[in-house]
């Protein structure tokens, strides 16, 4: 497998906390271990939360986390799809732009190839207990096979002490991934409704089971006073189909939605696509690009899923606090990519436009001086691995290609860096002022973010020198 290797600086920072009280025992425990890590991954989450400037979204638990940490307002993923984006998160390296990226890596390991360890494996070899629950890698539970439950086909070999995926009435991880209420499994997209709202509690949809298991694992991990933990929790919603308990949808019945920004399909060649994933579900013969009322209905159901996901985040964070482990735990909340809700006439991800690549990220740890800060420093998913190393005092591996964000966490007004991404169409680089998209056939899109036109007017022909400069920057980062 082709790798792009870059050398990063190595920093060491040991966090030692004197003591904390564990509510269950009410005794003082001396903490001599490195900080725990709680990584919360949320699928298809736009940076459309109150803590990121969206006034109409109900996201109280994520917003509360933002009040205790630093929210990265300009975080960009390295690929606009679940598999390759999570590859970057979990390996700290650029990789293939396909959803089977991690399985391709696993195949190389099986052949005996020299493959750098994944992030959880790295922490595991440095004394951490590693556990994943839900959708952390591309397949919920991290296994392959027809129903994604074949334990002989591991998506990230040697990474997790436990990789768990409760399935309940959805029968298997594949059923959970696109499940609707009360065990409904997707057989054919066209036979499954694109959105749904059903009376009931959190557990009538798959994420309720994932969260319950995460709470159970968190309780057990927090009782180990000798060994730190790395717990990754993957929440599926707001991934398609948009299904959430009715109580969450009711929050948006009478909410005034903001207009869709630049909703028209771009003229000429672009990274636009036909929204095939979304359009293949049952939409009752409606098209949100032609039916404004239906578009609003879709957006309300998406918002309901965001609030449902937010509630699951709240349950996990409440358990972290209840156990007392919050006093020695770094929390990272990460959206695996964005999602178009009609921008550029797209309903989905998989473009190289801003909406597919911009996602929320929050980092919080005990004693941080800048809690509650919002930073506009531009950063990438690639930066998470070296950041966690520096915050925990674990050696930063030379193969990790990102840049530690510890300096930005301490001084949120610090500068960031350009962000790159890639997918089937080609590559893109985002600077503070522009986005350039380089198609694999050589075609170029260039957009000026300092104008109201944003990414709706390709100005590449008018700025050949800037295009050349950005191409060199893109090439430099990839090398």
Question: Catalytic amino acids?
Answer: 82, 138
Q: Which are the contacts of 227, defined by CB distance < 8 A and separation ≥ 6?
A: 33, 127, 128, 129
Torsion angle in degrees (nearest 10) through CA of 376, 377, 383, 389: -90
The two structure tokens encoding residue 432: 């503070």
Cα separation of 447 and 457, whole Å?
Answer: 6
- Residue 477 DSSP label: H
CB 43 within 8 A of CB 234: yes
Q: Are 448 and 468 in contact (CB under 8 A)?
A: no
Phi and psi at 80, nearest 5°, equal: -90, 40
Location of structure tokens 């927090």: 222
DSSP state, residue 193: B
Q: Which segments of 383-432 are extended strands (E)?
A: 419-422, 426-430
Nearby residues of 297 by Cβ (< 8 Å), 6 or more positions away: 195
Q: Do residues 307 and 57 lie in contact, with contact meaning Cβ atoms separated by under 8 Å?
A: yes
Whole-number Å distance between alpha carbons of 135 and 181:
18
Q: Strand, helix or coil at 19?
A: strand
Distance CA 127, CA 229 (A): 9
Peptide bond into 241 cis (omega under 30): yes
Q: Give the chain's length.
A: 479
Please check whether residue 278 is in contact with residue 348, taking contact to mean a CB–CB distance below 8 angstroms.
yes
């Amino acid at each position: 497998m082709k790798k792009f290797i870059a050398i990063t600086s190595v920093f060491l920072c040991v966090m030692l906390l004197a003591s904390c009280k564990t509510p269950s025992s009410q005794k003082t425990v001396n903490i001599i271990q490195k900080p725990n890590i709680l990584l919360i991954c949320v699928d298809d989450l736009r940076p459309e939360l109150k803590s990121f400037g969206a006034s109409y979204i109900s996201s109280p638990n994520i917003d509360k986390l933002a009040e205790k940490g630093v929210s990265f307002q300009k975080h960009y993923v390295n690929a606009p799809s679940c598999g390759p984006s999570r590859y970057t998160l979990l390996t700290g390296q650029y990789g293939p732009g396909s959803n089977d990226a991690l399985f391709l890596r696993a195949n190389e390991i099986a052949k005996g190839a020299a493959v750098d360890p994944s992030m959880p494996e790295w922490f595991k070899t440095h004394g951490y207990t590693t556990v994943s629950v839900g959708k952390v890698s591309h397949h919920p539970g991290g296994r392959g096979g027809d129903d994604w439950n074949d334990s002989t086909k591991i998506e990230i070999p040697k990474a997790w002490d436990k990789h768990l995926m409760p399935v309940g009435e959805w029968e298997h991880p594949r059923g959970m991934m696109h499940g609707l209420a009360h065990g409904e499994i997707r057989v054919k997209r066209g036979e499954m409704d694109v959105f749904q709202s059903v009376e009931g509690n959190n557990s009538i949809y798959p994420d309720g089971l994932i969260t319950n298991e995460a709470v159970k694992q968190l309780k057990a991990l927090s009782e180990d006073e000798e060994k730190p933990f790395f717990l990754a929790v993957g929440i599926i919603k707001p991934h398609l189909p948009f299904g959430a308990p009715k109580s969450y949808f009711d929050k948006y019945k009478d909410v005034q939605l903001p207009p869709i920004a630049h909703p028209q399909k771009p003229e000429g060649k672009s990274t636009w696509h036909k929204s095939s994933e979304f359009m293949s579900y049952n939409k009752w013969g409606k098209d949100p690009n032609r039916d404004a009322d239906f578009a609003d209905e879709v957006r309300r159901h998406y918002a309901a899923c965001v609030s449902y996901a937010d509630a699951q985040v709240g349950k996990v964070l409440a358990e972290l606090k209840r156990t007392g482990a919050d006093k020695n735990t770094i929390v990272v909340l990460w959206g695996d990519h964005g999602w178009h809700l009609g921008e550029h006439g797209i309903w989905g991800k998989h473009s190289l436009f801003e909406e597919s690549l911009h996602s929320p990220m929050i980092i919080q740890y005990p004693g941080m001086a800048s809690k509650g800060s919002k930073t506009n420093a531009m950063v990438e998913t690639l930066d998470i691995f070296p950041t966690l190393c520096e915050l925990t005092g674990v050696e930063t591996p030379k193969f990790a290609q990102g840049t530690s964000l510890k300096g930005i966490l301490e001084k949120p007004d610090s500068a960031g860096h350009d962000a790159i991404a890639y997918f089937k169409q080609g590559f893109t680089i985002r600077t503070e002022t522009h986005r350039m998209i380089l198609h694999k056939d050589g075609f170029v899109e260039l957009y000026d973010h300092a104008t109201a036109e944003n990414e709706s007017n390709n100005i590449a022909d008018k700025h050949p020198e800037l295009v050349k400069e950005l191409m060199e920057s893109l090439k430099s980062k990839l090398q």
